[in-house]
Amino acid sequence: MRRVTLIIASLAALGACSELSAEGDRIARASAKGVVNGVVANQFPGMNVAPITDCIIDNAAISEVYMIAEAAVVGPTPATSQLILDIAQRPATVECAANTALDSVLLGVR
């Protein structure tokens, strides 16, 4: 519980200061990645989801990243999962995932 309070306080404090907003965004992205990894892993068991997670986070608006990061503290809800799946279906996210998969295949062949 202490850790949850610390995370929330850190995000609130960092979000309030414009000079530190980049650091707040970095913390939120890191927190959100854990949530996205879990949701994507549930959809695609056994798959290395880290590259897909990166594509989802990179194509989410920062407000969406903060919503997903909140789930790292309170737990994911069906709305969180739906938001992640919606971001995953965006053309830029699909293109990123396809390029990542192609890079993996090509690197594996060499």
Of 106, 37, 93, nearest to 69 (Cα)?
A: 37
**Cα(3)–Cα(7) distance, integer angstroms:** 6
Q: Is the pLDDT of residue 109 over 50?
A: no
pLDDT, tens digit (0-9, with 9 covering 90-100), for 17-72: 555 578 888 889 999 999 999 999 998 888 888 899 999 999 999 999 999 999 99
Q: Which amino acid would we find at residue 52?
A: I
Q: Which amino acid would we find at residue 43?
A: Q
Instruction: Write down the pTM of the prediction.
Output: 0.75
Domain boundaries, the chain: 31-109
